[in-house]
Amino acid sequence: MRKIEIYDTTLRDGAQAEEVNFSLNDKIRIALKLDEFKIDYIEGGWPASNPKDFQFFKEIKEYHLKHSQIVAFGSTHHPQKNPENDENLKSLLVVKTPVVTIFGKSWTIHVKEALKTTLEHNLEIISNSIRFLRPHVEKLFYDAEHFFDGFKEDPDYAIETIKRAYLAGADCIILCDTNGGTLTHEVVEIIREVKKRLGENVPLGIHAHNDSECAVANSIEAVREGVIQVQGTINGIGERCGNANLCSVIPNLVLKMGYQCSCADVLFKLTEVSRYVFEIANLTHLPKLPYVGRSAFAHKGGIHVSAVLKSPRTYEHIDPFLVGNVRRILVSELSGKSNLIYKAKELGIELDIESPLLNKIVDEVKKLEAQGYEFEAAEASLELLIYKLLGEPKQYFELLSYKVLDIKQEKNSSHAEATVILRVPPGVGEVEHTAAVGNGPVNALDNALRKALERFYPKIKEMELEDYKVRVLPGLPGTASKVRVLIISKSKDKKWGTVGVSTDILEASCQALVDSYTYKLFLDKTKKAK
């Protein structure tokens, strides 16, 4: 099966997504991660468009990439200029990348309305721009912007634009669905017509946007029709609805269709790359992302889990390990014994399916879920609950009481103060009475708990709360309703979630906080025992 080149445009097209703003350092870090993943081409940006992109091309030269080639992006020359005096084209040569990609107009409406020039002059612009660049770069790609829309309106002219680009010296012609509205069957029909008119030997690529939710499917079908290069972004980020998601395209090509890609032998890093880019972009990693999302291989229904335990293929289309993801068994009111056995085994706890204790755990989980608790994202609270029901409670302190004052002062300022009384160890230990202030009542309570515990357990300083979420639960109306608090905590390379439920938001928060600190201490004791 032939090899497919993967061309990543996260740093250029992806950076045009709403809420994405990469710093220069962000762009360098992402480029290094993509090189580690053996992406063939990394489009670094448009050097003529802004100083940051120009600086990127300068600084990336200080790093020795092991696989990827850096690509500079630009457009054909201005209609009223020649290639020799066009600043855009000259900037592409100044940055001295081995590969350059330029785009030009394929759609007559863009030629007439955007460029304000004639159809014939546009053809000359394309040819002249490519001829100017050709002697100075190792590889030259031509992005036929709006090609599919242009073909549907005037197929002869759209074909002529890419023919001129190829004859002028472009190494690969990339057919772009810039508006993202072309459906998959149209992509197939148009590529077949292109190959018929240009010949089978003209190298083609595909650049699909996702405005009609077809970018991945369009890219895959384009490969089936003979294209050799797929352009896209990590997690599909990009302007409007985004670009073709390479985190879906790549495993589909490699695992499902048998095509060769350079990144095939490091495909197990795919999930890591996906999360890394979103972390750098300061975006939430969507749990339902195919292949790489946290929920991609999550199983909740008891019948599903029972089948997966016998044979994962029953409810999984691939082994999650192949893309660096993991199988997750969720515990909820839908859970059966299989869920609890699998989850307990993950936590290092062996449970017998015939044990009455297992029934007790299942019943307790369902009872708590009926009250509003949810353990899918609060696995630390679940683990502590299981140990408690096993008769091995993990208790390192006893919260005897707490009090929180939230005082509103003049000029809209407020003052929150919390007092806690706790005993370490529980039952027989020393009583600690501590107060602390905070930015709001929950923060004050957290600070007071931390301050009291640090005296006995100094390693508490390693722990920090990463996220805090409150969800109003259905039931009682308005402000009388129950709330569920989810807290995500981390310490070094470990993260965990804890949950609390009450009609009192402070009480729900306190439950989740106590579980969070308890779990940190449990981790430390377990590590010390080993």
Q: What is the mean pLDDT of residues 2-15?
A: 96
pLDDT at 262 over 90: yes
Q: Which of 75-89, 323-337, 395-409 has the lowest mean pLDDT?
A: 323-337
pLDDT 10s digits, 140-179:
999 999 999 999 999 999 999 999 999 999 999 999 999 9
Cβ proximity of 445 and 402 under 8 Å: yes
pLDDT at 121 over 90: yes
pLDDT 10s digits, 414-465:
789 999 999 998 988 899 999 999 988 999 999 999 999 999 999 999 999 8
Q: Percent of the chain scored above 70 by pLDDT?
A: 93
Q: How does the average pLDDT of the chain come out, rounded? A: 90
- Sequence-distant (≥ 6) Cβ neighbours of residue 287 within 8 angstroms: 293, 294, 295, 298
- Of 385 and 307, which is predicted with more confidence? 385
> How is domain 398-529 classified at the architecture level of CATH?
2-Layer Sandwich (3.30)
pLDDT at 185 over 90: yes
What pLDDT does residue 297 have?
A: 85
Query: Which candidate, 143, 141, 156, places its Cα nearest to that of 193?
Result: 156
Rounded CA separation 361/349 (Å): 13
pLDDT band at 69 (very low <50, low <70, confident <90, very high): very high
What pLDDT does residue 428 have?
A: 85
Q: Which helix (H) or strand (E) holds 424?
A: strand 414-424
Q: What is the mean pLDDT of residues 340-357?
A: 75
pLDDT at 229 over 90: yes
User: At how many degrees (to 10) do helices 119-133 and 155-168 cross?
Assistant: 20
pLDDT at 119 over 90: yes
The CATH number that domain 5-281 falls under is 3.20.20.70
What is the SS3 string spanning 119-144?
Answer: HHHHHHHHHHHHHHHHHHCCEEEEEE
Residue 148's Cβ-count burial label (10 Å; 0-12, 13-18, 19+) is: buried
Number of H helices, E strands in the chain: 17, 16
* Range picked from 92-96, 277-281, 357-361 for highest mean pLDDT: 92-96
pLDDT at 477 over 80: no
Rounded CA separation 488/496 (Å): 6
pLDDT 10s digits, 482-512:
899 999 999 877 889 999 999 999 999 999 9
pLDDT band at 333 (very low <50, low <70, confident <90, very high): very low
Q: Percent of the chain scored above 90 by pLDDT?
A: 69
* Range picked from 224-233, 280-289, 469-478 for highest mean pLDDT: 224-233
Two tokens at 276?
A: 């890394």
Cβ proximity of 42 and 31 under 8 Å: yes
Alpha-carbon separation of residue 145 from 132, 150, 183, 204 (angstroms): 20, 9, 17, 14
DSSP 3-state assignment of 507? helix
Domain boundaries, the chain: 5-281, 298-370, 398-529
What pLDDT does residue 339 have?
A: 67
